[in-house]
Structure 1
Amino acid sequence: MPFAVYVLGLAVFAQGTSEFMLSGLVEDMAADLGVSLPAIGSLTSAFAVGMIVGAPPVAMLSLRWPRRRALLAFLITFLLAHVVGALTHSFEVLFVTRVIAALANAGFLAVGLATAASMAGSRAKGRATSVLLSGVTLACVAGVPLGAVLNEVWGWRSAFWGVAIISAPAVLAVMRSVPTTPVDPVAPSVRYELRALRTPRLIMTLVLGALVNGATFCSFTYLTPVITDVTDLSSGWVPAALALFGIGSFVGVNVGGRLADSRPGQVLAVGGTALLAGWLIFALTAANPVVALILVLVQGALSFGVGSTLIAQALYTASDAPTLAGGFATAALNVGAAAGPALGGLALGAGLGHRSPLVLSAVLVATALVVAGVARAIGITGDKGDTGATERRPAERPVEAS
């Protein structure tokens, strides 16, 4: 795997840390800025909405730039947004920086997925995808707890400075390691890439990605009350449980990445079925500490193994529209990341108990399996990389590519 792919993974680690770290900073931020806890919570929502809404149009904008230039522009914007966020004493300014950081994150991930897949070669898109998503899983394992430690020692602003500091070497590394390539005179236009995205198989893959990611974050968001109230472990076990989930997700995304290129159908069928069974068993046996902690690890691995395979399949399916495919895949995953916790919150608010998010996760995965089964039955299948797009039209206005 080219070194530049790991550089992109470092940048994604910084961005993943930023996306999730506010959960450990909310009380100190609210006190310092003189706003309510729900107001600070809206910063997380703003980031998620920015990722969902911004990913496709920002990726579309970047089609007219060489990839290295686009990556640098997004990463530097992300870094500067955190510098401003660390310095400001205005909640309104901080809110704007979170939206800008989300747009930059969405653009970087969309272009980064396409760049990594291109550098890895036509038969290793799954492995390249897994390296980038490893940055997200490592953010859950190390980045978010580190942000909480910085907050305890130097205050919440130090966590923002930390993200900026981690991003700085990634900027330099992208400049040195991502190759500059000449403009492709027959590179697809925006109109062509959009047309290439209209294949039913790609749409199905994106829907499956949203459902699986929704299941993942439905339970992950409410894992703390499951551990403390259902499993009846002390609050000291919560960091260990979260770390187990993160370790599992790191293992799953790397194992899934290796299999996604050669046996994607088996990963999705076997992994998806095991994922459904795991959520159901977890809901039934959550009161058993040993079983619960084992399943936290296993479900993290299965969730990210299946999820990363779906992203790789989106890139294979839309090989004629790699950047916009990355943008829409980013948006689909964040739709799931936003909808899953919302559904879990509704279940908890309705008094259905702390096991209800686990049951909902099983329902979402079951829905994904049904959608996949129906799609196969009506013939929405094909070999990886089959976009179903029409022949490229060189007469259309070309864009710079690398």
Structure 2
Amino acid sequence: MKKFLTLFLTFTMVFTLASCTSKAPETLIEETKPKEQIEEIIEEVIPEEIEVKAGVFWYDFSDAFLSTVRDALNSELDALGIQYTNYDAASTQARQNVQIESAIANGVNLLIVNIVDTAAIDAAQNITDIARVADVPVIFFNREVDDSVINSYENACFVGTRAAEAGEAQGIMIGKYIAENYDDIDLNCDGYISYIYLVGEIGCYYSDATIDVNLEDHPYYAAFTSSQTNVATRLLNITTPKIELICSEAPDVRSMSVIPYCNAVLTMANKPELTYYDANNTDKYQPSNWSKTTAFEIMETALSTNPMDGDAPIEVVIANNDDAALGCVEALNNKGWNTGEGNTIPVFGVDYTADAAAAIEEGKMVGSILQSATGMAETIADLVENVMNGEHVFDGAVEVFNVDEDANKIRVPYEIKMKEEN
């Protein structure tokens, strides 16, 4: 758009000058040669369009949320009319590395990478170095890479969400729901809410992250509570002790944000903090590796030790993704719970996949956090279009998107999703 505006103004200037001169038309044409000048201006103002051949590298085709991103991104890239190929790393970083090197050798001139290994900087840095040597732009997306990696190459950037936001939004959603329905959720009437928590994966690049819980002016808290009626109005600032997340030993900061934010909302409502169903589990979480099957198995085991009709039932299910939440729902279904009718406990997820949206509507889940697949795909497509137009991959991004201060990273916002009241 800026180029065409510049071109229009240039045309106007040239012809205005031509109309204002007192020289004879023959002399004017001979001396100014506006046609030749305009052709030169077009070449300077509008760079030659580049034939883009993109490689889109996915950490695992089986990931439910990323399947929705892939469908959306395929549509966007088809609309742009570029050549592209999708690659499945099947959760193996070494395989993804080989795929990228092979793609570049076969003429790919744009890398769009959903990296496998987020536990260390080396994997993303290696891909960035490969892109630099080949002189091709690289757009990382969805799975976080370190700022230092992005800053190491001028043609590298990232599109994704702020890791902690999903956890903060989910914690606020859960805390408010429990506070408003406390007596109904407290199945054994002991005054406490027992929960099970399924995190995504163990290992992250956050080696020293601090979680500060602050509800005052928090965007998700403000947006969520302003449209609700039964909520305490007093805001509470709580700063938790510093939590150090050690790679390969802890889940990421998104996972670690959920319970502190939930407990902050409960404290504000004068309710006790959540208690983990298994007192022997000092971590107070179990990794599901984003897998519905793994989550189903974990939940089945938990229900065998803490049956729903026993003295210490599980009263809330929290999962870092919808597939894991739905795996827990299936295990509950086998016990006659969360079928959409009758006995139900709150189940919460993240991603707001189509299956989760249906489960929420049917009353099998309470809520999820929307991570917009369409928004992510559209943002990536805008950057691809820059490359097509011969511009820098990140050109104009700061003016249009929510961009980090310290690196070329675009943040796509989340949204709390629950069943709408009739």
Larger Rg: 2
**TM-score band (shorter)?**
under 0.3
TM-score (norm 1): 0.24
Which has the bigger relative contact order, CA under 8 A and spacing at least 6?
1
The structure richer in helix per residue is 1
